[in-house]
Amino acid sequence: MPSVPGPTCRHTAPPRTPQCCRPRRQSLPSGSPDEELTIPSGTETQAHPAPSDAGTPLAVELQGITKRFAGVVANKDIDLLVRHGTIHAIVGENGAGKSTLMKTLYGVQQPDEGTISINGQKVVMKSPTEAIKLGIGMVFQHFMLADNLTVLENVVLGAEKMYGIGDAARAKVRAISDEYGLDIEPDDLVEDLGVGARQRVEILKVLYRGAKILILDEPTAVLVPQEVTELFDNLRGLKAEGLTVIFISHKLDEVLSVADDITVIRRGTTVAAVDPKTVNARQLAELMVGSALPSPQTEESTVTDKVLLTLDGITLSGGPGRRNVLDDVDLVVHAGEVVGIAGVEGNGQAEVVEVIMGMREPTSGTVTLQGTDITEWSVRQIREAGVGYIPEDRHRHGLLLESPLWENRILGHQTQAPNVKGALIDIAGARADTERIVKEFDVRTPSIDVTAGSLSGGNQQKLIVGREMSHAPMVLVAAHPTRGVDVGAQASIWDLIKDARRGGLGVLLISADLEELVGLSDTIWVILRGRLSGPFDPDVVTREELGSAMTGAAGSAGDKPTAHSEAGEVESR
């Protein structure tokens, strides 16, 4: 049974600012492109009185947008109505067509059918440059900043003609930062900034170019809860200044807490326009997925006292004069246990994985697998010894994107049956086993001869999970196993991990998704600047406590674990 996607487990919506109290009707799911969405006028009660809706044209209006790619329909009859001066969320599973829609809105690609109106004017945008001219700005999920340049340099890059590159530009950056409360210092080096600040720089870049309509692609994916709150304050600030924000997400709690309107996309088409006040996260998730969600199940603990993997005093030097990337990390994974590591990205998670997998040699400390010191072993020896690996970045570390699926099934297990016979590749064996994985793990593909790069993220990940599980690992190192995969694939990957854990697998789960960590882990540690704090008991710890430990806020959050929960102690859940 697929388990419930994270956000429905815990609903922690901050108080919403009461501002739009108007009836809204939820349209029926899809099918009828001409269906009219009634947008009743709302009453804006803010310091900056936005013009009343009645007379104001919609900031963005999409009608019947259809986009096909070589026979595949990515968007079909998309209708989107975004009111002026609001935060409008577009939600949908990964692969539902959100990014195609966004690219259409930003002029990266042109729709095959349908019309786009900006501020009541029908427009055709042939490039992002034209979109920018129309006042549309886009903040990408992956920041596009040059680390070795200052904020100012990054902001003026490509927009030198607007205010030059000197004091006029600096003044403008300061002015925008002050006006919207972005708290950005133009002469700071970007490499010194945290993730939240970098995102604000991206927003500032867009505002600098005169955007009045901002599109944010999954802006919270890289943020910890506290930073999300700050971001949302910023967004409300933008709205108060009369700007329009379109915000793409699949984190429903967040959407419900900040959005004024929500449009749901499923399988390439808009299925509903809903009022955040009339739905809860669960209903929204069901609209996204298109079917009722199963209830979360409580799981019996399967943790044993059999030690599988031990990290003992692992330290990784960051080079002379720099702090250690990993600092005295101790960790134990038992058979049947899922040990979660939470943390803001870049705090040493990747390095922990690299040390375990043998890709990096620790400066000091030992890694032990079932009593054997494997610190000095090569990646191949470690993998052969039974450590499965789901890499954080499947495109860079998990797959050969331009090779067929069956060759990808060999990858990482080049020395093991059924992939090889002696020094030769067993093509027939590998192909047959790839067929099995495709069937068993529900990898949606027409053939095992297509390239891995042409599969969707979820199917790629299922292939990787299937591959790793096929070699009966003793320990599974899973870094962000469900990042960028759709809800269906996510649920099945979670189930696989749970099943394997029941079978005695030890799992080290690194994730940025707190719901995933809390839902799967038996023990949670938090990593901050290369040091572990915890352990935390996932049954009692709150998001805020984890968030504080992740940011190092509230003094020594890590020193006061919320519950007894010695690592590995058998807990009943």
Partner 1 sequence: MKRVDTRRLALAAAAPLLAILVALALTTIILLASGDPVAAVWAQLFKVPLPRQIVAISNEAIVLYLSAVAVAIGFKMNLFNIGVDGQYRIASFAAAVFAGAHFLPGWLNIIVSILIAMATGALWAFIAGVLKVTRGVSEVISTIMLNYIATYLVAFLLQKAAVKVEGSNATSTAVLHDDSKVPNIDVSGLLGTPRQVYGLLVLAIIIGVAYWFVVNRTRFGFDLRATGASETAAVASGVRVKKMVATSMVLSGAAAGLVGMPLLFCQDYAYGDTVQSGLGFAGLAVALLGRNHPVGMAFAAVLWGYLDQLSNGLQIGAGVSDKLVLIIQGIIVLSVVVAYELVRRASLRIDQKRVGSAEVKSVNKVEAVAA
Binding site residues, partner 1, CB under 8 A = 69-72, 267, 291, 357, 359, 378-384, 389, 391, 393, 396-403, 407, 410-415, 420, 423-425, 427, 444-447, 449-451, 453-456, 459
Find the shortest distance in angstroms from Cβ 361 to partner 1: 13
Based on CB atoms, which residue is closest to partner 1, 156 or 356? 356
**Pair of tokens at residue 527:** 């990593």
- With helix as H, strand as E and coil as C, how does 85-120 read? CCEEEEEECCCCCHHHHHHHHCCCCCCCEEEEEECC
| Tokens encoding 274 | 């809903």
**Smaller CB distance to partner 1: residue 380 or 436?**
380
Residues β-bridged to residue 508: 339, 477
Output the smallest distance, CB 399 to partner 1, in A. Answer: 6
For the bound state, the minimum distance from the C-beta of residue 466 to partner 1, rounded and expressed in Å, comes to 16
Buried b (16+ CB within 10 A) or exposed e, 200-210: bbbbbbbbbbe
**Tokens standing for residue 289:** 């997925």
DSSP letter for 471, please: T
Helix (H, G, I), strand (E, B) or coil at 138: strand
Do residues 125 and 110 lie in contact, with contact meaning Cβ atoms separated by under 8 Å?
Answer: yes
Q: Which is nearer to partner 1, 258 or 265 (CB)?
A: 265
Please say which residue, 377 or 525, places its beta carbon nearer to partner 1: 377
| Min CB(110)–partner 1 separation in Å | 18
Minimum CB distance to partner 1, residue 3 (Å): 19
Strands (E), 70-218: 72-82, 87-92, 113-118, 121-123, 136-139, 213-217
User: Quick one: which H or E segment has residue 284?
Assistant: helix 281-289
Cβ-based nearer residue to partner 1, 66 or 562: 66
By beta-carbon proximity to partner 1, the closer residue of 412 and 568 is 412
Nearer residue to partner 1 within complex by CB, 47 or 292: 292
Q: To the nearest whole angstrom, how small is the minimum distance from the Cβ of residue 326 to partner 1?
A: 19
Tokens 């990014």 correspond to: 99
Distance in Å, CB of 396 to partner 1, minimum: 4
Nearest CA-CA partner of 187 in 224, 220, 222, 150: 150
CB 135 within 8 A of CB 84: no
Q: How far apart are CA 306 and CA 284, in angstroms?
A: 42
Element (H, E) at 271: strand 269-274
- Residue number, 280 or 454, with CB nearest to partner 1: 454
Q: Which of 479, 328, 325 is nearest to 396 (CA)?
A: 479
Q: How far is the CB of 391 from partner 1 (least distance, A)?
A: 6
Report the C-alpha gap between 340 and 322 in whole angstroms.
27
Beta-bridge partner residues of 113: 66
Least distance in angstroms from the C-beta of 452 to partner 1: 10
> Which of 54, 292 has the CB closer to partner 1?
292
